[in-house]
A and B are shown apart, each in its own frame.
Chain A
Amino acid sequence: MSGENKGSQERSGRLLFQQLETIRGVMMDSLLKNYVPFPIDRSLCSAWTNTLRKGGETVIYTSFMYQLSSIFRAYEKHLSTFTRMGGSTKLASLGKFFIKPDKDDLRRGYRILSNISDLLSKSGIDHGYLYDDEPYSGGLLLELGMLDEFWEYGEMVLKIMKDHGVKRVITVDPHTTNAMNRLKEHFAGDIEVDNYLTLIQNYSGDGKFVFHDPCLYSRYNTIGNRIREIAGTAGFELIENRMVTSRDLGTCCGGPLGPVNMELSDSIAKYRAQKLLSVSQNVMVACPLCYQNLKPYVSNMKDVAEVIA
């Protein structure tokens, strides 16, 4: 490597770590004080239900993902600006005033969560919800490699669950499922972690889609196969293509790169969308962050929880 290139790579590496320091600062501050990754209005997160009982041994665990996926994206989008403006303090103080969730996305998130809760009930899975006591899982820390922070905060998440008498969480998205499984493994915890897709039994749905597998469902778990089983029994069709939807060649939507490099994250989303659209104009996803990332490039897109009922 030439000296010039090496110098330029080192400079961009330093800038990247400065940005990560901003993220780490604002996230840890917010998580340790309020159990949310960014300054947000908590009541918006729990307003999707008022009928579930509070707490109990089994709870649906949203980790705000379906409610706030648009906010996650918005914060990530402004990170480099905040880094230039002075880091985590600016992000914490200014962010909440102008970063608000998209109303349509919020309503869509509420509908999806209600449907998932109904699907669980129809399958005889009794469950409660922690409402405003629900903590964020810390998945973002894990995915950015902030492992010490993830374990530190994760211990607090497990404690909240324990203090509320929760013995089993039912996760609804890949990031929370992965984060909780990692916490369980790391702390040898006795909390049971189940994803709703592995529990539901009574459902139906129709349509024909190309499925964008969430990485954390298909290549870190077997839930990708389970979704294909569900398609077979529910009555909707997933079109498979070796180059686009196979386990080894299907790729990420770029979402996890948002906090690191939004432009690259977006380029990967665009690339992935082109691949998916080459198979079908109707795309199915199973993750709120994939939905947000692919949204600018895919018109006809549904979450699996919008396909089955």
Chain B
Amino acid sequence: MSNWNIAIERALENNVPKVDSILEKYPYLSQMADEVRSAKLKVIADLDSYVKQTMESVMASGGKAYLARTTDEAQDILKQIIGNGKKIVMAKSNVAHEVDIINTLEKSGNLVSETDLGAYLIQLSGDESSHIVFPSLHMTREDIGRMLHEELGLQFSDKSSTEEIVATVRQLLRKKYMEADIGISGANSISADTGSVVLVENEGNIRIDTVLPPVHIIITGIDKIVPTLTDAMKEAMVQSAYAGLYPPTYVNITSGPSSTADIELKRVTPATGPKEVHVILLDNGRTEASRDETMKEALLCIKCGRCYFSCPVYRVMGKDWGKQPYGGPTGAMWTAIVNKDYATAEYCTHSGGCREVCPVRINIPKVLEYIKWVGIGKMINDKH
């Protein structure tokens, strides 16, 4: 059995019963998922207006808002805000990887460290992520022990337990937070009415990344916009449940920089937390997708990553299928949106399990069939 086979089997054995029991124990979650679908459809139908409203709300709460139409524009905005010589802690963000954030900032003379355990392991190993929620899923605990020994000289071996590894990495990461000038995160959702960013997590790294450094930068896709803060909370709840992590240990809401109204009830900013909050909204193909009756379904994805486990292609190919961070069935849709890559969808076998498990009922095989058709059409056009 290859390492990947061992890793995916362990993941399935741990994740499937967990999600099954969560959905059985908390039956309101599937109704909540339907509500998230409706809320997101509303935004997709009028994306420009919701982007505008979200940016106004971010600014009204004291944050700065930016719209990046392309990954190049996003990189320029980041470089402008950050400059050079900064120590940066990152909470895992797929959109951040979409804009190649670590390379961009390191080339500008900054030191960037991932703080999500899985993302940190990926950064250390120089490998690609293998799952949208669990990026180091392809690494067994034995691989991780060996890698940490080789990369950092830590006294780990392939016999080290998961608990030992986590405890040691915890110490390493806590030092990085204390020294950080800037924290960067993504968003599980962002509400148009309040400009609030909702982030759900379990490790505690997001909470520290987004509160301890004096500057917090959020980079997220415009597909993460929902009409209200209630919708945003629901999206985060549903995401964590269908990823098998419910109830989540932490849910964070960020609406502008830190503030206080403790003196005469006059709200002033900053208080103890960040002095600056910057929200970068990335388009990169999303608006175009929202105008396409079939492709717009892909924008509903809440990135829970459940579809990966029902897909035979992912189970066999792992991270070799698609362009990371967008792998698996949802990634085959997303790489078409953001990379204009239509070949990845050709590997879909229309097995259909992805559609069965999708909390927001995206007909993924139908979208992938459409992407295949677009790819074939381009192939014929290029030939003539």
Contacts and interface: CB of A to CB of B under 8 A. Distances in A.
Interface string A249-268: 11110111100110010011
A248 interface: yes
12 contacts: A5-B128, A13-B342, A17-B376, A20-B346, A21-B379, A144-B372, A145-B372, A219-B355, A243-B16, A248-B310, A249-B310, A257-B347
A-B pairs, 5 with minimum CB distance: A145-B372, A219-B352, A13-B343, A252-B351, A251-B312
A264 B379 contact: no
Nearest to B311: A251
B16 A242 contact: yes
Contact of A1 (B315, B324, B344, B350): B324
Nearest to B358: A248
A5 B344 CA distance: 14
B353 interface: yes
Contacts of A144: 346, 372, 376
Contact of B352 (A6, A16, A220, A268): A220
A228 interface: no
Contacts, number: 118
Interface in A1-25: 1-2, 5-6, 9-10, 12-13, 16-17, 20-21, 24
A94 interface: no
B349 interface: yes
A271 B376 contact: no
B343 A12 contact: yes
Given A147-B369, A247-B356, A251-B315, A17 B350 contact: no
A127 interface: no
B345 to A, nearest CB: 7
Contact of B379 (A2, A17, A243, A271): A17
Given A1-B100, A16-B343, A251-B312, A215 B373 contact: no
A261 B346 CA distance: 10
A104 B342 CA distance: 39
Contacts of A257: 313, 347, 349
A260 B347 contact: yes
Contacts of B266: none
Contacts of A145: 345-346, 369-373, 375-376
A179 to B, nearest CB: 12
A146 B346 CA distance: 11
A16 B348 CA distance: 13
Given A145-B372, A242-B16, A249-B16, A271 B315 contact: yes
Interface in B308-336: 309-313, 315-317, 323-324
A17 B312 contact: no
A248 B369 contact: no
Given A219-B353, A248-B357, 14 more contacts: A20-B376, A21-B379, A143-B350, A145-B372, A146-B372, A215-B349, A215-B351, A219-B355, A242-B20, A248-B356, A252-B350, A256-B350, A264-B347, A271-B312
A143 B351 CA distance: 11
Nearest to B356: A248
Contact of B310 (A251, A256, A268, A272): A251
B12 interface: yes
Interface of B: 12, 16, 20, 100, 103, 128, 309-313, 315-317, 323-324, 339, 341-347, 349-353, 355-357, 369-373, 375-377, 379-380, 383
Nearest to B354: A248
Contact of B316 (A146, A215, A250, A271): A271
B312 A268 contact: yes
Contacts of A252: 312, 349-352
Contact of B383 (A21, A255, A267): A21
Contacts of A16: 343, 346
Interface in A193-208: none
A260 B375 CA distance: 13
A169 to B, nearest CB: 22
A254 B339 CA distance: 26
B146 to A, nearest CB: 24
B316 A267 contact: yes
B352 A249 contact: no
Interface string A168-202: 00000000000000000000000000000000000
Contacts of A143: 350
Nearest to A24: B376
Given A1-B324, A267-B316, A261 B347 contact: yes
A13 B372 contact: no
* Among B12, B349, B373: residue with most chain A CB under 10 A: B349
Contacts of B372: 144-146
A229 interface: no
Contacts of B316: 254, 264, 267-268, 271
B351 A219 contact: yes
Nearest to A144: B372
A127 to B, nearest CB: 29
A248 B324 contact: no
Contacts of A163: none
B37 to A, nearest CB: 18
* Among B315, B351, B370, B379: residue with most chain A CB under 10 A: B351
Contacts of B343: 9, 12-13, 16-17
A272 B353 CA distance: 14
Given A219-B351, A254-B349, A9 B376 contact: no
A256 B349 contact: yes
B377 A148 contact: yes
A218 B356 CA distance: 11
A10 B345 CA distance: 13
A148 B375 CA distance: 12
A145 B369 CA distance: 5
A52 B350 CA distance: 35
Interface string A230-252: 00000000000011000111111
Nearest to A258: B349
B59 to A, nearest CB: 32
Nearest to A271: B316
Contacts of A242: 16, 20
